[in-house]
Structure 1
């Protein structure tokens, strides 16, 4: 299940660099094209399950395990706090909105399970999420008419 899902994060620095309204739209398209199959795998998995909540929780654990195993460093096997902040932002800007953008009937259930698991496993990760349109519409190209 979700084999190599941690690859979702392989371009996180590039995707988050100089994020503006136009680049966010472009980068979201790239994200969905490149990693959308993981979102489909998640929604299909929950679709086929009799217990939807349990299936969503299993996906969340699998996803967070993959991220934790990939990015944990040092003797304590912990993700450095600056990297954790970057991963959190990437989740907020790309993973959750892309999942919700599928408009699948269980996408919110999966997003809730993923968010809960993420927050319980990683310190300093007490965030929520929003859909693509909310984030996209919150970008401003100009500040006070300048730039």
Structure 2
């Protein structure tokens, strides 16, 4: 079992720095279309713990410098996981989604000594604020 970490996290830095709802929507569509299939080993496995460990080990190997992942890089990777990987799993995997995300989150937090959590796509989308003359204003529900 090996993940194509290069493909999954390709251009992760700009993907992790989103500022508008439209930008996030476009990048999530790109992630779903071009990269989600590379998570198949994680989403279709019967042993989520092993798959999550393999995934996290692959990320560590790819991004480590002098034996560890640097803080700035780890922040971008955390954002990438929260913005794209978790919401995509929650959107596509039905009943198994929460179990997959729980296992991946716990493994990630343990491996990289951080404290991230996950949320779904709709919650992220509702968090964007519209600006009028540079001031954030609430959007009305349609």
Larger RCO (CA under 8 A, 6+ residues apart)? 1
Report the TM-score, using the length of structure 1 for normalisation.
0.83
Give the structure with the higher percent strand. 2
1:79 matched residue in structure 2: 69
Aligned length in residues: 134
2:4 matched residue in structure 1: 4
Q: Does 1:90 align with 2:86?
A: no
Q: Are the counterparts in 1 of residues 130 and 136 from structure 2 also a CA contact under 8 Å?
A: no
Tell me the distance in 2 between the aligned counterparts of 1:144 and 1:10: 31
Structure 2: where are the runs of 5+ without partners? 138-142
Q: Are the counterparts in 2 of residues 2 and 38 from structure 1 also a CA contact under 8 Å?
A: no
Q: How does 1:1-147 map to 2 (within 5 A)?
A: 1-45=1-45, 49=46, 55-74=47-66, 77-123=67-113, 125-142=114-131, 143-145=135-137
Tell me the distance in 1 between the aligned counterparts of 2:89 and 2:69: 24
* Residues 29-67 of structure 1 deviation map (CA, whole Å, 9 limit, x = unaligned): 00011112134443222xxx3xxxxx1111110110110
Tell me the distance in 2 between the aligned counterparts of 1:80 and 1:117: 18
Q: Are the counterparts in 2 of residues 43 and 104 from structure 1 also a CA contact under 8 Å?
A: no
Structure 1: where are the runs of 5+ without partners? 50-54
